[in-house]
A and B are shown apart, each in its own frame.
Chain A
Amino acid sequence: MKEVAAVLPGVIEELSEKGESYFGFSLPVSAHIFTGLYASNAFVDHQMEMYFAIEKLSQDPSLLRVIVAHEMIHSYHYHLLGHAGIDWQAIDWSDVRNSLYLEGVATYLSEKLVPGHPQHVYFSYEDEGEDWLDFCKQNHKKIAAAFLADLDSENVNMEKEWLRLSGGQHFGYNRLGYYLGTTLVRDLLEELQEEEMLKMLAEKDVAGEVDRWLRQWG
């Protein structure tokens, strides 16, 4: 915790500069650093503030850069959606398809902001996770089909099964929604400019887009 606390503020400063040069504005919110109870390591709340709990984070500055980039992009994305005139009241936060898109954006763009890591690091924020990504790549169709089937079922806690560390009952691999979301974003960018893709939640039916994207694999 002492080592993480010593390096994390510098990493946040560094990423703050990178974010400003990438997005063209600085974030008018705070980044909170604290000691938590071994729950979530990092998150952004609905006020777009960033939170980092040090007790489980890696001391490796290069890995910290990846998770800080991920959270900072969430905050930038919310700000950009705000600039695009999003009606936050109209967003269904319980719809996992919105979460898929939001996590996909943060994961995809974190690689742009801090390039040079093995691809799996952008998903796991640690050195491990190569087998996880191999599994995703080899089973892409199966994973998409299972997600689609779960969407139709009323008995699945989608957020947990597909996005949380505590999920992953289907295949024995958790957080597969991050892989789906990132692949979705990569595919969207084949047709859309990055700026348009970032404004989608304000201007388009993201849930419908996710459905269409998933259905191409049956």
Chain B
Amino acid sequence: MKINNTTEDFFRMYEADTSFQLDDYHQHHLEIFTTYFHSYCKKTEQKLTAAKERYPQDYEN
């Protein structure tokens, strides 16, 4: 079984740029986000904004 760990990418992109665009991370990992947004999480502006607001409080956990 292979492990495709994309979180290092996420952390790197998140920490590198204060105007971090979540979309860039999603576009880099279509192998995940095509499925995720198609079947498990409808992609809306509202959810994107809410997630970006919540990340800081959960970041170190």
Contact = CB atoms under 8 A, between A and B. Distances in A.
Nearest to B37: A37
A45 B6 CA distance: 18
A175 to B, nearest CB: 16
B contact residues, range? 20 to 34
A145 to B, nearest CB: 31
A43 B6 CA distance: 16
A1 B4 contact: no
A43 B40 contact: yes
Interface hub of B33, B47, B50, B58 (most chain A Cβ within 10 A):
B58
A33 B60 CA distance: 17
Contacts of A36: 36, 41, 51
Given A1-B55, A3-B61, A34-B32, A39 B3 contact: no
A54 B59 CA distance: 10
Contacts of B5: 5, 9, 33
Contacts of A45: 35, 39
Q: Lowest 3 A-B CB distances belong to which pairs?
A: A39-B41, A5-B7, A37-B51
6 contacts: A1-B59, A30-B2, A35-B10, A38-B50, A51-B36, A53-B36
Interface of A: 1-5, 9, 12-13, 16, 26-40, 43, 45, 49, 51, 53-56, 59
